[in-house]
Structure 1
Amino acid sequence: MPMTITQAPWLIIGQELTQALSRIDANSFDGLAQIFKNSERRWFFAGQGRSGLSAQMAAMRFMHTGRKVHFVGEASAPSIRRNDGLLILSASGQTPTNLRFARTAKLEGATVVALTGQMGSPLAEIADFALHVPADATAQFGGSLFEQCSLIMLDSLIFRLTAGIPDVHKAMQYRHTNLQ
């Protein structure tokens, strides 16, 4: 979508987000929510580049809900084991580092979940569950639309998982960092 001088860039991005998010399969999202229903499972989040930054932001929100989460590569992240989960964000589904993480997690007996723009990718094939994030029609540079949509999908997952919890914002605020 080429940008015209008469359009505000934030409105163009908003339109792209709306168009991409309207293509998310609701049944697949429900499947994703089902996988994350167990609040006792440890989750590891991963992604490279800006996808990794989106994964870090999502991991933070999951921590705010009281879940046990780690970002792969952080010094305090433990080893992944059986019954843990690994969530990987990858637009291409071909990033070698992510594929190595996914294979290691599978060997250890962990569940692998992918948010990817390419459902036929090696990552989608390895994953136990993959959510297609259709962010291919964009005027933005690189994977910006994928990263934005992935973060919105994971924030939507938090919204779904915390629905009906009394005073959930108060509980999340309590877990929010106070060393700022």
Structure 2
Amino acid sequence: MRVERWTGDRVRDRAGDLAALLADTVASGASVGFLAPLGHAEAAAWWREQAEAATAGRLAVWAALDPTDRVTGTVSLAFPGKPNSRHRAELVKLMVHRTARGRGLGRRLLATAERAAAADGRTLLHLDTETGSPAEHLYRSAGWTVAGTIPGYAASPAGELRPTTLYFKQLRG
């Protein structure tokens, strides 16, 4: 498995492959902002929008690829545009395809984003995830701290309102 940081052009060029990962993630029940069923065209359009954000420097995207060049995971960092926020970033869309789970890829993607954030001078990361999801174990075991829980924050892929837990991690400067 290799992990690469992708430019906006690369995200746009591989939007179909990224869409397949996003659709699989939603179909497997992960709460990543979409309702099921998520169509390929809708997922690809979303990724093309993210390509624009990556080109503009508001988003950094990493993709994990298997030996056949299939996208098996992603993670992104969203950068706020406010002058008083340049020290932080939001970790978003950490996804691993069902067939690649349980092999440490999520942890590797998370560590990649954390290292890149620190190298870019970011000292604080934050994220939100569905309370009780498998992702919580990953974040806690990687040293993330719970900031709080918001009830009924986001709908699951099935449309049910679920609580969300907010996490943060302070990075070494």
Tell me whether the two structures share a fold, i.e. TM-score over 0.5. Answer: no
TM class by smaller structure: under 0.3
| TM-score (structure 1 length as normaliser) | 0.26
Q: Which structure is larger by alpha-carbon Rg, 1 or 2?
A: 1
* Structure holding more helix per residue: 1
Q: Which has the higher contact order (CA 8 A, sep 6+)?
A: 1
